[in-house]
Structure 1
């Protein structure tokens, strides 16, 4: 992909955020600089994308990072898109009617409330979708956007109702853990959350890669970094977790959606 981008002078990159970060790792290994590419803007989607990850991508590639939203079941990318005002993703209302419902009761929520996004297709003839439950948690915004577009916007997805973990009675989304990890120096953006059940209690293990594998040789530094992560998660989310620090490149990279949650409960 990097060779093609150089040969063709690619200016726009469409991918999942985790794969973009993988490309930046390959660039570092092969000596390719951001200045060697012609990229100007990225259209990223398909998985969670925190503000911290956006900043990292923009820093590494020197591009404008925008998000788009789509569902394979409906049309793939193109349901909504982010403009450079960065105030949410504009929904293509000519084709999709959005609603926000309570993910438990199914009741439609008032404007401005956070809940599960439900979509009805307005133009599909072969396989129309009526009030399709996306499982994505967000909020609709109806006030005018600075860009001048008037269609309703959805906030960047807060998380998925089926990805939500309940740890010691606390609702936890992967995006919350990601936001915390991205604020801690010494660890990379690649992580996994392993959920197990011991003695009828759900437990969460946070596995995250180190930026420098040499840190594994220093017990005191590993212990200090582990404690920092534990304390940050406890202070923000109010839960205790197990933290495992991994060597760089331990977690499998994929061009598709990154698998952040591994549920080992039986």
Structure 2
């Protein structure tokens, strides 16, 4: 195992590096970005006043609406002539968020993704199958450039066309596969439907992200493909994939690239720091980005931070796997719950596959919630393909009890036959919100 030098740096060495890079970044945004210069002036602070990492709490927060308010280039710290690439969100809820990269940014990003792939088990000379979407989404190109830099033969298949994905896995013999966990589950099911065993492929490691997923989903994917599945974290506003990654040796928390990002966790209501190990909202400050630096960017992701040396040899701070997003949190009859929590406990019920949807309809002050769950082929055969079978009612009642006892929510349960809940070729659609006039689909 070969680690990048900074991945095994002492806490003192890392703190010194972070402080130097933070001061440089603060000078950069103060001089180059009017938004930050105005914010600093309002608070009466200047870059030279920052003499320790603890001073980070003096700085203002940055939120996604700031990006939309300054669309498209108002927060950039370089001229357009220095940009070599632009990425953007879909903009489905308003103006898209736009981020840019200089040549140096792309090189730094590629190095971080190469480090991430190596941490997850990738090796030079092997083949990586990249099923993340290419385009304005940062996932596909982010993994692609990092894989090539690591020295892996990269298959840029992108998402969709599942039959072709399967053929390329069989023909090109990759050892690493990347994509959303829900889509990889779709690939596994399609292979099984073709009479093929996903466990007999050449795959050894999976790098999955772009949507919250549970430990139960991890076990399902690992059993389906006979691989080690690692969680990768990143968001376009901060950089893209490569901000943090699980190591394949331990798979217990994601190593943050501390030499490039300063991480905090705050209480999203009070905006105060939370104790180590306690869940809160992740906040990131970039330390080396040229085109689009971010200062105390509130990600909306819920996780915790933990310090300490890992058995893999890395000393970088770890973040827990993302529990959910603040804006994804559901309120079901007064109870707060994340979709990932529902998935976590749902997959403990025998006979249920990892596909579900919550159908939520509100009429005035009344809320009706129906959880659609799908049975596996074995259960379906055992009930003679009859959804009126008494065992279906028993299963639905069991799911209701699991949701009530663990998630504290009361839901109606509808059991459906295999392969009827829509499969994902990207991020899974878990929540269907209905009103009397329209139906809105939310991706979670």
1:128-147 equivalence runs, <5 A: 128-147=293-312
Deviations 1:146-201 (A, max 9, x none): 21211100001111111111222211111111111101111210111222223403
3-state DSSP of counterpart to 2:237: coil
Change (3 A) 1:265 1:108: farther
Indicate if the aligned counterparts of 2:200 and 2:225 stay in contact, CA closer than 8 A. no
1:7-26 equivalence runs, <5 A: 7-26=171-190
Tell me, in whole angstroms, the C-alpha distance in 2 between the residues paired with 1:262 and 1:24.
25
Indicate if the aligned counterparts of 2:387 and 2:415 stay in contact, CA closer than 8 A. no
**Corresponding residue of 1:69:** 233
**Corresponding residue of 1:99:** 264
**Corresponding residue of 2:409:** 239
**Corresponding residue of 1:184:** 349
**Corresponding residue of 2:368:** 203
Indicate if the aligned counterparts of 1:100 and 1:116 stay in contact, CA closer than 8 A. yes
3-state DSSP of counterpart to 2:293: coil
1:194-233 equivalence runs, <5 A: 194-212=359-377, 213=380, 215=383, 217-219=386-388, 220-233=390-403
Question: Are 1:32 and 2:196 counterparts?
Answer: yes
Tell me, in whole angstroms, the C-alpha distance in 1 between the residues paired with 2:244 and 2:213.
15
**Corresponding residue of 2:219:** 55
Tell me, in whole angstroms, the C-alpha distance in 2 between the residues paired with 1:196 and 1:119.
36
Structure 1: tracts of 5 or more residues without a match: none
Q: What's the CA shift for 1:72?
A: 2.6
Q: Which has the higher strand share?
A: 1
Please report the TM-score for the alignment, with normalisation by the length of structure 1: 0.94
Q: CA RMSD in A?
A: 1.7
The alignment covers a number of residue pairs equal to 266
Q: Which has the higher helix share?
A: 2
3-state DSSP of counterpart to 1:5: helix
Question: Are 1:78 and 2:242 counterparts?
Answer: yes
Indicate if the aligned counterparts of 1:112 and 1:141 stay in contact, CA closer than 8 A. yes
**Corresponding residue of 2:276:** 111
Structure 2: tracts of 5 or more residues without a match: 1-164, 437-444
Indicate if the aligned counterparts of 1:121 and 1:128 stay in contact, CA closer than 8 A. yes
Q: What's the CA shift for 1:52?
A: 0.8
**Which stretch shows the higher mean deviation, 52-61 or 72-81?**
72-81
Max Rg structure: 2
3-state DSSP of counterpart to 2:174: coil
